[in-house]
């Protein structure tokens, strides 16, 4: 099923949220007007291929959804921002884009090209002010899978994700929401008895998987498997205390972390080397430390720039939390007159360099879309998979549900509905709703 116009209420009831980030409800983003709509197809995390695969296999649906979104917000320009390395796909997109009046913008194969501040700058030359949003410069940025979900006009019950790294076959799959990571990994041929370290989402901005019982949500973008002695595993299992101790003793204030920071280069006052200096001194309140507020947590400083393998991004994140607790805000928040650094275009970090630095060259950098015959007997669907309030359960233990049925209504205020991803019996209702195929 596809749509010819967008209904805000329907998007809310279908549970469409940003599939590439924290899950901001899409209906809320589409309430405002915008001059330019940008499809963010940058996908700059190493080893991930989901967006490219979706663009290849669902070209018309995505471009139709993008055009519909543009019409809805009254945009005069619509841009597909895609990495220049996908030249074959770009050639395939040329005709269908031209037929819809959609422009194609080639992004460099650098990290973090998919950070929406960088995507907007690269595609339009506009700089989102510190602490601002794309809407402040007339732009709306949408993720590829989100736009596909807008166009499909059906409850969001499945999620595309890449399973890559130390796996038998790297691939992109579409899993029912609520499937455990253990079920996902065993369905793609991973031997769970040999499984060691798993990152959720990416090597740069992901989270460490704590348990195979964690589940696929509407925002899960990838599972990346590594042996425990791999550099990625070692970096992410360093404790906060260890990070602070080695930071205090080994940071020589070379400022490479700041000089390569994409937000600093964009003109925002983010200076991670100052955040590192502050590890030793309680100097909250100084503007330079307050700049941590504008860190996008891309981790480039930690995973690539620092020659001592320290953790400046974590120092920035700690500062942000302290600032929130103390109600502090940097005085340049919202300023539109900050100049872009003169070295901005010369300090883009190629993804190939990241792959080398992170020890990822040994893994196959592919992720074809593969159809999986899901033989799962249960799912656990969180009522909160998005920014805002959790959905309100509308089913009880013992109820029979069918795939696509609403099982949690959209809350008052910001939030969306959730739906059953398989047919079955409700076995638990709490913060999550469990459904089993066994009665």
Residue numbers at the binding site for ligand SF4 (CB under 6 A): 251-257, 261-263, 270, 272-273, 276, 295-301, 305-306, 308, 310, 312-313, 316
In the complex, least distance from residue 184 CB atom to ligand SF4, rounded to whole angstroms: 28
| Shortest distance in whole angstroms from residue 300 CB to ligand SF4 | 4
Q: Which is nearer to ligand SF4, 98 or 250 (CB)?
A: 250
CB 117 → ligand SF4: shortest distance, Å?
9
Q: Shortest CA distance to 304 belongs to which of 266, 227, 360, 242?
A: 360
Closer of 218 and 273 to ligand SF4 (Cβ): 273
425 phi/psi in degrees, rounded to 5: -110, 135
Residue 185 or 300: the one with the smaller Cβ distance to ligand SF4 is: 300
The answer to whether residues 113 and 252 touch, using CB atoms and an 8 Å cutoff, is: no
- Residue closer to ligand SF4 by CB (options 60, 280) is 280
Report whether 40 contacts 64 (CB < 8 A).
no
Residue 196 CA to residue 360 CA, distance in Å, equals: 16
- Give the CA angle between residues 187, 430, 150 to the nearest 5°: 60
Are the C-beta atoms of 260 and 305 separated by less than 8 Å?
Answer: yes
CA-based nearest residue to 158, from 367, 432, 3, 385: 385
Q: How far is the CB of 199 from ligand SF4 (least distance, A)?
A: 16
Which lies closer to ligand SF4 via its Cβ, residue 293 or residue 434?
A: 293
Minimum distance from residue 47 beta carbon to ligand SF4 (Å) = 19
* Minimum distance, C-beta of residue 202 to ligand SF4, in the bound complex (Å): 13
Q: Whose Cβ is closer to ligand SF4: residue 153's or residue 297's?
A: 297
Q: Which is nearer to ligand SF4, 296 or 426 (CB)?
A: 296
Phi, psi of 42 (to 5 degrees): -70, -45
In the complex, what is the shortest distance from the CB of residue 203 to ligand SF4, in angstroms, rounded to a whole number? 14
Q: Which is nearer to ligand SF4, 54 or 276 (CB)?
A: 276
What's the rounded Cα separation, in Å, for the pair 353 and 310?
18
CB of 163 to ligand SF4, least distance (A): 26
CB of 109 to ligand SF4, least distance (A): 18
Rounded to an integer, what distance in angstroms lies between the CA atom of residue 173 and that of residue 245?
41
Q: Which is nearer to ligand SF4, 58 or 263 (CB)?
A: 263
């Amino acid at each position: 099923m596809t749509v010819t116009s967008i209904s805000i209420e329907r998007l809310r009831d279908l549970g469409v949220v940003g599939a590439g980030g924290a899950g901001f409800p899409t209906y809320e983003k589409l309430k405002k007007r915008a001059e330019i709509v940008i499809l963010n197809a940058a996908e700059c995390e190493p080893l991930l291929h989901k967006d490219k695969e979706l663009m290849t296999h669902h070209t018309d649906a995505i471009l139709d959804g993008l055009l519909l979104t543009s019409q809805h917000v009254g945009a005069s320009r619509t841009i597909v921002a895609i990495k220049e390395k996908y030249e074959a796909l770009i050639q395939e997109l040329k005709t269908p884009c031209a037929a819809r009046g959609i422009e194609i913008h080639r992004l460099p194969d650098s990290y973090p090209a998919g950070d929406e501040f960088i995507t907007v700058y690269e595609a339009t030359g506009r700089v989102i002010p510190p602490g601002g949003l794309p809407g402040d410069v007339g732009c709306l940025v949408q993720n590829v899978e989100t736009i596909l979900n807008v166009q499909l006009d059906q409850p969001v019950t499945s999620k595309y994700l890449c399973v890559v790294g130390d796996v038998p076959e790297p691939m992109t799959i579409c899993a029912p929401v609520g499937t455990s990571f253990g079920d996902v990994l065993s369905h793609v041929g991973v031997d769970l008895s040999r499984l060691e370290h798993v990152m959720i989402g990416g090597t740069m901005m992901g989270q460490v998987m704590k348990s195979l019982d964690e589940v696929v949500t509407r925002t899960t973008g990838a599972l990346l498997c590594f042996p425990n002695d791999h550099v990625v595993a070692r970096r992410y299992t360093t404790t906060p205390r260890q990070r602070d101790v080695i930071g205090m003793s080994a940071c020589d204030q070379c400022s490479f972390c700041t000089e390569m920071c994409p937000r600093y280069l964009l003109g925002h006052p983010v200076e991670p080397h100052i955040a590192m200096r502050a590890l030793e001194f309680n100097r909250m309140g100084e503007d330079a430390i307050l700049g941590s507020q504008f860190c996008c947590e891309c981790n480039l400083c930690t995973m690539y720039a620092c020659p001592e393998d320290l953790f400046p991004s974590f120092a920035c994140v700690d500062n942000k939390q302290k600032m929130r607790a103390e109600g502090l805000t940097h005085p340049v928040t919202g300023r539109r007159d900050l100049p872009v650094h003169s070295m901005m275009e010369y300090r883009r970090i190629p993804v190939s360099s990241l792959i080398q630095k992170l020890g990822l060259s040994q893994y196959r950098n592919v992720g074809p879309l593969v159809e999986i015959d899901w033989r799962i007997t249960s799912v656990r669907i969180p009522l909160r998979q998005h920014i805002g309030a959790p959905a309100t359960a509308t089913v009880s233990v013992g109820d029979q549900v069918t795939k696509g049925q609403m099982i949690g209504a959209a809350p008052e205020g910001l939030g969306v509905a959730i739906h059953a991803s398989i047919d079955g019996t409700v076995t638990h209702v709490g913060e999550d709703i469990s459904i089993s195929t066994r009665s």
